[in-house]
Structure 1
């Protein structure tokens, strides 16, 4: 089998299984592990998958631009928002990032909820504006037009001035070995800083983001307290996450 054919098979296999090991791929293709390791590296360099220790995982399937993401997977975002809302209580100081699942959570806020929201997301700020009992503190800085957030050194410095009770983190990718990762460098740095300055971290992510990985590291799995998703917490996918101390909702 030619290299191009092997690599096509690898991508098709990964699209179905979401992850693979070099050992199983070697047996599947009937070639050496060194051969599949080279194939995986080439595909990783092209951004078509993410090489991990002993294998590969799929990249996040979500669109990059906010306008496309806000219309993506709406029903599952509503399910996640309904599960996550129970963690918010009056009097809390809450970091909220620029993820569209985080935005879906804000859209579900009760009218009488009394919390302080600290965010760098313009869409989140626009929703909070209509809620009379929520105090809004906005993180300034240079605007990223891909994510509709501020994302600069000024933004990072801003979040260092607070210690939030809860951080609401919209996931791009999460993997049981690689942790939380993101597509955009600046956005990933903002998320990292929010996590470091929070007492409790709630990650929001649909099933399609589980066991995927991107280029920019946000945090290890142990930094996530709760993972809220749209599928059953008893799904076997979450075994590795639970072993790392993550509560699945």
Structure 2
């Protein structure tokens, strides 16, 4: 079998099974484990999958820039934002992450809601600038341009001084085994710190982010209380999270 044919077969199997276990697949295809691992490394360099210990998982499609990500699941994100906004109660301290879905959340907060929103995202702060009764606490730091959020030591220091009632986390990847992952190490550290400083962590995840993985772990799923996902998502994609006791809201 030619290298190109092998790689196409691996991608086909990954799409069909949702994961690749190198040892199992080597026996199934009568190929050496080293050959499969080499092919997986090369496919990972091309951004076509995410290497994990012992095999591979699908790569997240949500790794493009902010403008590109606005076009992904454009119909689903307003509904997810609306459902998440309905979870906020008057008087709460709410941390809103960056990202295109989080912007929709901010946009759907009721005009009469009195609360404090903490954010390290200029996009969220600008979205709430005209809200009549929400106080906005903007956390600064070095701008991570991919997600348009602040990261770094100054950001982490500010987060350590805050205790939020609820954290709405935007993600690029969510997987029952890999947990919550992202493509940038520093961004992962910031998200993890915010989650640890919040009583409740709610993950906002459109369907294309489920059952995918990125290089850096944010947190295990044991830290997640809720997932808001678009209605119509395949039950097989969300059943593992239900089994973990995570509350699912279908928007």
TM-score in terms of structure 2 length: 0.90
Q: Note the aligned Cα RMSD (angstroms).
A: 2.1
Distance 2:30 2:112 in 1: 62
Distance 1:224 1:85 in 2: 17
| Secondary structure at 1:74 match in 2 | coil
Distance 1:26 1:86 in 2: 49
Q: How big is the shift at 1:128?
A: 0.8
Q: Does residue 5 of structure 2 align to residue 5 of structure 1? A: yes
Conservation of the 8 A alpha-carbon contact between 2:207 and 2:233: no
Distance 1:131 1:216 in 2: 35
Distance 2:241 2:52 in 1: 17
Conservation of the 8 A alpha-carbon contact between 2:63 and 2:172: no
TM-score in terms of structure 1 length: 0.91
Distance 2:42 2:65 in 1: 26
Q: How big is the shift at 1:217?
A: 1.1
Corresponding residue of 2:48: 48
Q: How big is the shift at 1:200?
A: 0.2
| Secondary structure at 1:87 match in 2 | coil
Relative to structure 1, the CA distance from residue 7 to residue 199 in structure 2 (aligned partners, 3 Å threshold; closer, same or farther) is same
Q: How big is the shift at 1:9?
A: 1.9
Conservation of the 8 A alpha-carbon contact between 2:122 and 2:148: yes
Moved more, 125-134 or 23-32: 23-32
| Secondary structure at 2:167 match in 1 | strand
Corresponding residue of 2:19: 19
Q: Does residue 224 of structure 2 align to residue 227 of structure 1? A: no
| Secondary structure at 2:111 match in 1 | coil
Conservation of the 8 A alpha-carbon contact between 1:79 and 1:230: yes
Distance 2:157 2:213 in 1: 27
Q: Does residue 156 of structure 2 align to residue 156 of structure 1? A: yes
Conservation of the 8 A alpha-carbon contact between 1:49 and 1:58: yes
Distance 1:23 1:240 in 2: 24
Alignment of 1:34-183 (within 5 A): 35-183=35-183
Q: Show structure 1 runs of 5+ residues with no match.
A: none
Distance 2:29 2:82 in 1: 44
